[in-house]
Structures are given as C-alpha cells and as structure tokens.
Copies of this chain bind each other. A is one copy, B any other.
Amino acid sequence: MTEKNEVRTEENKVISPVVIKRLPRYYRYLGELLKNDVIRISSKELSKKMNVTASQIRQDLNNFGGFGQQGYGYNVEYLYNEIGKILGLDHINNIVIIGAGNLGQALANNQEFDSNGFKIIGLFDVNPRLIGMTVRGVEVYDIDVLEDFLKENDVMIAALTLPASKAIKVAGELADLGIKAFWNFAPVDLNLPEDVIVENVHLAESIMTLSYRIHSK
C-alpha cells in the first residue's frame, strides 16, 4: 500500500475509503447468499435486498472485478472472498477480551465473529467469581496472567469491556506489551501512541444520536 487509507486490489486498482466503509455490509449480504447456495446475483437483485441503488452497487463492486458479461450477474463466492481479503478476514485475528462482565460475555457468545476470521482466545478479569468459568469454551483468566498469555499467543486485538475508570490504565499497559489494535467499549478516549489503532464503540454516544434524531423530527 502506497498511501495511508489507500487499498489496491490484486489488479492494483485503488479503492476509495468511502467504498471501504460499505464493505462490511456487502460482506454480510454476500455471506447470507452464500449460505443459501446462491451462486450468482445481479446488481438489481442485490440492490433490492440491500436497499441501495443498483448503480451504486455496480460502481462499488466493479472495483473487484469478478463479474461476467453484462446481465450475467456477480459470482457470489468470488466477491465474498475478495471483499474478505480487503477486510483482512483471510487471516485469523486472535482477540482477547478484557472484562468478563455481561458485555465481555456477550462478545464471547457472538458466533458472528468466528465465521468471519476472528477468534476470541481468552477473557480476562479481576473478579474471582468469574475467573475459571468458560464462555462458549473460552476461559476467563485472572488478569494477572495476561502478560504471560500475550507472550505465548499471537494476539491481534484487545477488546476493552471494562469500566471507564480502569480502561485508560489497562490500555496503556497492553500497548506497552505490544498490542497494536483496540476495540474499545469503555466510554473514554484512550490516548494511545499514534501507531496504535483504536476502534471505539461508544454506546452512550450512539443512543444520544438516536435521541437527537427523535427529538429533532
């Protein structure tokens, strides 16, 4: 990749960040089609399903090739795999979850992640009542063994599902131990070094956006 945010397909075509943002949704729909043994789909059919214009879909997906002559439609499996590669889902992305409360357990229980190249390999907590239990086969470990765990396992992402009051300190320690990507559910800004990637899921901000949309109608 030559520039930040720039992606090239195998044919070395540049894909814009705006298209990239739409890819997870295409990926989800194509995955459903694949599950239902659909081999080819036209942009018109996909458009109806996804509630996006057919021309938008054609523009977006033409970035990836993978279509026959006009009117023949897209090869579902090919497109699914190409988009998966762009999203890095052809790797196994190991995840640890820090905080094994309801939210951490909800993430560990979410089967959607498994099928998409993500693997939750451990939950960590300070609460003795949680340590030792398993969630869908994944063990909850004492947070004291996290450092050793990170040495022995190739962890790509740390999900932070712990209280805001602890998140900044723990994230800093994890970054020092080499974690370069955080999926942060704590309602704080982590302020980590520039080369560390943070994807925030701020639930309170999401519901405030909803509230704004209700009351501004």
Q: Which A residues fall within an 8 A CB radius of B?
A: 1, 5-7, 20-21, 23-25, 27-28, 50-51, 86-89, 91, 93, 101-103, 105-107, 109-110, 112-113, 116-118, 156-157, 180-181, 183, 187, 189, 191, 197, 199, 201-217
Give the distance to chain B from A159, nearest Cβ to Cβ, in Å.
8
Determine the distance from Cα of A21 to Cα of B109 in the docked complex, in whole angstroms. Answer: 31
Asked if A116 and B189 make an inter-chain contact with CB atoms under 8 angstroms apart, the answer reads no
Q: Could you pull out 30 A-B pairs where Cβ atoms are within 8 angstroms? A: A7-B216, A20-B212, A24-B204, A24-B205, A24-B208, A24-B209, A28-B205, A51-B189, A86-B212, A87-B212, A87-B215, A88-B214, A89-B211, A102-B103, A103-B106, A106-B106, A107-B203, A112-B187, A116-B204, A118-B207, A157-B211, A181-B210, A181-B214, A183-B206, A183-B207, A199-B207, A199-B209, A199-B210, A199-B213, A201-B203
- List B contacts of A103 (CB < 8 A): 102-103, 106
| Additional A-B contacts beyond A7-B216, A28-B187, A118-B207 (12; CB < 8 A) | A1-B216, A5-B216, A6-B216, A28-B204, A102-B103, A103-B106, A157-B210, A181-B214, A197-B210, A199-B206, A199-B207, A199-B210
7 closest cross-chain pairs (CB), A and B = A88-B215, A102-B106, A24-B205, A199-B210, A103-B106, A88-B211, A24-B208
- List B contacts of A187 (CB < 8 A): 28, 112
Query: Which of B116, B181, B197, B209 makes the CB contact (< 8 A) with A208?
Result: B116
Query: Which of B23, B105, B157 makes the CB contact (< 8 A) with A212?
Result: B23
Give the distance to chain B from A123, nearest Cβ to Cβ, in Å.
12
Asked if B183 and A24 make an inter-chain contact with CB atoms under 8 angstroms apart, the answer reads no
- List B contacts of A88 (CB < 8 A): 211-212, 214-216
Asked if A93 and B216 make an inter-chain contact with CB atoms under 8 angstroms apart, the answer reads no
Interface centre among A5, A117, A207, A213 (most CB of B within 10 A): A207
- List B contacts of A23 (CB < 8 A): 208, 212
Query: For residue A208, which residue of chain B has the nearest CB?
Result: B24
Determine the distance from Cα of A84 to Cα of B211 in the docked complex, in whole angstroms. Answer: 10
